[in-house]
Amino acid sequence: MTIWDKRERRSVAAMCLFLVSPTLLGLVLADNISSEGFRVLANTTVGDIIACLLYLIGGIACYVMGLALFRRRTFFYIATLAFVPAGIDIVHQILNGATTSLLFLYTCIIAEPGELWELFTSYWWGLGTAIALWTTYLVLNRKYVRNEYLITNRFWRNGIAVVCLLFYILLGRMEPVRQSNPANIFIETAEVIRVHHTIRDADNELQSFRFGAEYAEERADMPSAAQDEEDLVVFLVGETSRYDHWQLNGYPRATSPLLAVRGEEIVSFDSCYSVSNLTAVSVPMMLSRATPATQERLYLEKSLPEAFQEAGYRTAWIADQSFTNEQLLRISSACDGSYYFDAGSKLQRSYMDSVLLPPLERELRAASGQKEMIVIHSLGCHFKYSARYPASFSVFTPDLKERDIRAVIEDMDITSGRLIRDRIVLNEIRELFVNSYDNAILYTDWFINAVIEQLERTGRRAVLVYVGDHGENLLDDDRNMLLHGSFHGSKYEYHVPLFVWVSSQYREAYPDKIHAMEQNRHKAFTTMSLFHSLLDLGHVRFHDWEPARSICSDSCKAENPLIGLDANLKCKRLPL
């Protein structure tokens, strides 16, 4: 064998290892391949081992088939198409301890450029490593790999390709094979495309849909001074807001001082859980009658603002995010007023939610004398947390405004073994994340209070409902989970704050609703109750309205068990 042959052999081996690295990492990092995974092989069953073997073969078979069908150099150039799927899968495994899920891929596809830019710049070392490996791969292929068949015998080449193809045809529906890279990315991409077409196809049918909603207020029960007023219902969706970091909910830090001093004006619910740990699903779900068991209603029925419209309400949508989510864009376009803060060329989203206050003020003036329902979709505490608040709100320090994550890593003494999994280093990083996150909550407290002050100035019977679309992981336990959208999900991702503020005029007019909310504040339920609750707060009824799902009804029932969606849109019990 010549020196050239040795170099080529080593180059081919290195490139093959690079292509199957997501699959090999999955055996170590992903815990969704089998009930336990290879990480605890001593305790696995025969079924678990078979599942892992099928996953491994599934990740290798497509490349074996390619090497059989194409010349070597040609194959490795074609295989570069798998680089992006490989990168997505590796990132998902590192962040979430599982192979790529449907919702993670869906979020990557519809995410705004600003969100992706913030994530990439925060994890710059991962992006840099991927680019370096990609460059090395291309150099090796161009310089050392000849464009010849790996297997010279055509019969054997075709036979191997057929065997690999039959493997996917016969076993491709099995979960371990579907989870292998790059098959998982292609399968989930096809599902995203299917959902996209389902939404588009349903648009025409939605035009004729009606809830049959009507305004059903009993004005005779009100004080005479309030009978000429019109109701104002505001639904504020807070991004990435977890229940246990709010002072209102017992958090020891003063993260919501402005709302805390409002006292009995606010009713806080202590057991509300989001149905999903990703915005792309959780927000459309809470704006519809859809449940985990009836997801098709997302496409077949209209939304909450449209139910209010049927009952004679003016509706408005005010947002500084989700510019590319088709479902939310459809809902907002159906509103009488729609205000999006246009990020334009601002890839790094350094603006604050205060940009939503001027359009809210304009909308309140425009709707004077009318019943009105407003949805505010804020950027809230979305990562990168330090970009969500001005420097004057850096109360909890050190935070990510004064010290970057990369500075912590660069300060690590690698020779002494302080690696990323070192608890000391994790605690340093966690302190930066938690302080920055708590500062973002503090600013959200200011923003919500500013919204309430605008509502108070109207002098109307106003009610504001605030809920987190999902929570966030902040290296809370030994799983070392960060951000949200993990495959299995944690209680930190699903347990969200829900509180209701009512004006003095609303409290005076509807004391029974305030009393009912006080009685229901400790009951456990999911964000699926919000559709019926908001209609009830606005005195809107339709024939399928469910009082058992309304938080301001004496008939409200706790949900048991609490059911949500996993990362592949399958029903599951929520982690409590």
Burial class (CB in 10 A: 0-12, 13-18, 19+), 225: exposed
pLDDT in tens, 208-265: 889 999 998 765 455 554 555 689 999 999 999 999 999 999 999 999 999 999 998 9
pLDDT attached to residue 39: 44
Contacts 24+ apart (CB under 8 A), 403-407: 403/432, 405/122, 405/429, 405/432, 406/124, 406/125
The two beta strands, 461-468 and 495-502, are antiparallel
| 3-class secondary structure, 291 | coil
Q: Return the number of other C-beta atoms located less than 10 Å from residue 336's C-beta.
A: 17
| 3-class secondary structure, 228 | coil
Q: Return the number of other C-beta atoms located less than 10 Å from residue 358's C-beta.
A: 12
pLDDT (mean) for 88-99: 76
For CATH 3.40.720.10, the residue range(s) in the chain are: 242-573
Of the candidates 462, 464, 435, 430, which has an alpha carbon nearest to the alpha carbon of residue 266?
464
Rounded to the nearest 10 degrees, what angle do helices 102-110 and 83-96 cross at? 120
> Do 536 and 550 meet the contact criterion of CB atoms below 8 Å apart?
yes
Q: What is the mean pLDDT of the chain?
A: 85
Of the candidates 437, 381, 433, which has an alpha carbon nearest to the alpha carbon of residue 408?
433
Q: Where are the alpha helices (DSSP H) in 145-267?
A: 154-171, 175-178, 183-206, 257-260
| 3-class secondary structure, 246 | coil
* Cα gap 32→180, rounded to integer Å: 11
* Cα gap 212→570, rounded to integer Å: 30
| 3-class secondary structure, 507 | helix
The two beta strands, 571-573 and 473-474, are unpaired
pLDDT attached to residue 426: 75
pLDDT in tens, 155-208: 999 999 999 999 988 888 888 888 888 888 788 777 777 777 777 777 767 878
Cα four-point dihedral sign 505, 509, 511, 513: negative
Question: To the nearest 5 percent, what fractions of the chain are helix, strand and coil?
Answer: 55, 10, 35
User: Who contacts 352 (Cβ-Cβ below 8 Å, separation ≥6)?
Assistant: 388, 389, 390, 443, 447
Of the candidates 130, 13, 125, 526, which has an alpha carbon nearest to the alpha carbon of residue 293?
526
pLDDT attached to residue 40: 42
pLDDT attached to residue 177: 85
* pLDDT: which is higher, 443 or 182: 443
* Cα gap 64→116, rounded to integer Å: 33
User: Who contacts 349 (Cβ-Cβ below 8 Å, separation ≥6)?
Assistant: 114, 115, 118, 343, 379, 387
Burial class (CB in 10 A: 0-12, 13-18, 19+), 245: buried
One-letter amino acid identity for 328? L
Two tokens at 320? 């500084």
Q: Return the number of other C-beta atoms located less than 10 Å from residue 247's C-beta.
A: 19
> Do 279 and 335 meet the contact criterion of CB atoms below 8 Å apart?
no
pLDDT (mean) for 549-565: 94
Q: Return the number of other C-beta atoms located less than 10 Å from residue 221's C-beta.
A: 11
pLDDT (mean) for 483-492: 84
pLDDT attached to residue 408: 59
How many Cα atoms occupy the beta-carbon half-sphere of 529 within 13 Å?
31
pLDDT in tens, 109-144: 765 555 555 555 555 556 677 778 888 989 999 999
CATH of 242-573, picked from 3.40.720.10, 3.20.20.80, 3.40.30.10, 1.10.760.10, is: 3.40.720.10
Distances (CA, A) of 38 to 92, 102, 233, 456: 18, 23, 52, 58
Show the CA angle centred on residue 188, arms to residues 187 and 190, nearest 5°. Answer: 65
* Cα gap 285→277, rounded to integer Å: 12
Distances (CA, A) of 403 to 96, 385, 408, 411, 447: 25, 13, 8, 12, 25
Is the link from the previous residue into 561 a cis peptide, with omega within 30 of 0?
yes
| 3-class secondary structure, 425 | helix
- DSSP conformation class of 500: E
> Do 52 and 33 meet the contact criterion of CB atoms below 8 Å apart?
yes
User: Who contacts 541 (Cβ-Cβ below 8 Å, separation ≥6)?
Assistant: 213, 214, 216, 535
* Cα gap 538→313, rounded to integer Å: 9
pLDDT (mean) for 325-338: 90
pLDDT attached to residue 255: 97
The two beta strands, 231-238 and 461-468, are parallel
- DSSP conformation class of 277: S
**pTM over cut 0.85:** no
pLDDT attached to residue 573: 92
* Cα gap 183→126, rounded to integer Å: 23
How would residue 463 be classed by pLDDT, with cut points 50, 70 and 90?
Answer: very high
The two beta strands, 337-340 and 266-273, are unpaired
pLDDT attached to residue 227: 53
* Cα gap 29→91, rounded to integer Å: 11
Longest dimension (CA), the chain: 100
Two tokens at 86? 């490989």
The residue written with tokens 């497509």 in the block is 62
> Do 345 and 111 meet the contact criterion of CB atoms below 8 Å apart?
no
| 3-class secondary structure, 328 | helix
pLDDT attached to residue 28: 82
| 3-class secondary structure, 496 | strand
